[in-house]
Amino acid sequence: MQKYILTLTYLLFVSVAPLFAWGQTGHRVIADIAYNSLTDKASAAVDSLLGRKGMVWWANWADQIKSDTIYPDSYDWHFQDLAPNLSDSAVISTLHCYPQHGGRLWQTLDSLRSLLADTIKPQGQNHIDALKFFIHLVGDAYCPMHIAHEDDLGGNRVKMNWFYTPTNLHRVWDENLIDSRGFSYSEYAEHLVARYSSEQEEIEKAPFDSLLLQTYQLTQDIYDYQNLNDENTYHYIYRWHEACEKQLYKAGVRLAKWLNIFYK
């Protein structure tokens, strides 16, 4: 399928399921990791558009704007649900032949990259909004439940208990795992940089299709774990908190990489 550029005023098919990735803390963690990895030029450019450290304060805007009429059909820009048990080549092909259903995350990211890389156009409100969407959606691309299964609405229909409170698989990965660490966003970002910085160069150099495969395989492992019917929340945190942290760190590193390219 031929790729085409989405303008931010283009109206997309809107879904109806509740869907938020990483929660507010997670997106701020990603933005903070990225902000502290920007070059001086990129940092100055982003600050001039969003305010000092504005990319952190605006990290959740793309979720909040769903309740406004300015971009009423941006809902399915946030996810790219994929079928289970796909081959590696089938997963990668979704980056080049956009799926006809299950979200438009890949298409939207491609469009935003093209828009933000075009330095000829004046950097007006359309550019600022594109930047705010991009900051958020790069994070969504590394959330396992945003490339999860379409038939269960990205884990929203997979029921779970979190310390005896009913919830679902999507929310566990959005918020519960992150909040269980008890960090503020800045503390968590600092912790992740200290723990995983030795992997930064490898993550920066990795092709996106290989990172996508890693996330897809993680998603499959998460679903497989559900078959164990282990409802001990402490077991779940112990099993999955490191995988969650690595995804947050990868997202922050890759976001910084792109912003450094756009504003070099």
Tell me the pLDDT tens digit for each residue of 180-219. 999 999 999 999 999 999 999 999 999 999 999 999 999 9
- pLDDT value, residue 122: 57
Tell me the pLDDT tens digit for each residue of 247-258. 999 999 999 999
Q: Residue 7: what residue type?
A: T
Rounded distance, CA 152 to CA 21, Å? 15
- pLDDT value, residue 5: 42
**Which pLDDT band, with edges at 50, 70 and 90, does 68 fall under?**
confident
List, in order, residues 6 or more apart from 117 with CB less than 8 Å away. 261, 262
Q: Please, what are the domains in the chain? A: 1-264 (1.10.575.10)
Radius of gyration of the chain (CA): 18
Q: Is the dihedral of CA 156, 158, 159, 162 positive or negative?
A: negative
Among 32-36, 60-64, 124-128, 198-202, the minimum mean pLDDT is found in 124-128
- pLDDT value, residue 121: 62
Tokens encoding 106 = 């890949």
Give percent of the chain with pLDDT exceeding 70. Answer: 91
**Which pLDDT band, with edges at 50, 70 and 90, does 9 fall under?**
very low
- pLDDT value, residue 10: 38
Among 14-23, 133-142, 211-220, the minimum mean pLDDT is found in 14-23
- pLDDT value, residue 66: 86
- pLDDT value, residue 120: 65
**Structural contact between residues 108 and 137, judged by C-beta atoms closer than 8 angstroms:** yes
